[in-house]
Amino acid sequence: MGSIAMSEKEKDPEQCQHAKGSEAMPKTIEAAVHFLMNALPQKYQLTITNMDADEIGESAVSLIKYIQDAFDLVSGNMELIRSCSEEAGCEVEHPEDASAFILSRLVTELAKSKT
The whole-number pLDDT of residue 102 equals 93
59-95 residue pLDDT tens: 778 888 889 999 999 988 999 999 999 988 999 989 9
Q: Are 55 and 1 in contact (CB under 8 A)?
A: yes
1-59 residue pLDDT tens: 444 444 434 443 334 455 555 557 899 999 999 999 998 888 888 888 887 777 777 77
**Entry pTM:** 0.76
The whole-number pLDDT of residue 5 equals 47
Amino acid at 30: E
Residue 99 clears pLDDT 50, i.e. is over it: yes
The whole-number pLDDT of residue 36 equals 92
The whole-number pLDDT of residue 6 equals 46
The whole-number pLDDT of residue 81 equals 94
Question: CA torsion sign, 87 to 88 to 94 to 98?
Answer: negative
The whole-number pLDDT of residue 60 equals 75
Q: Are 80 and 27 in contact (CB under 8 A)?
A: yes
The whole-number pLDDT of residue 11 equals 40
Q: What whole-number distance in Å separates Cα of residue 65 and Cα of residue 96? A: 8
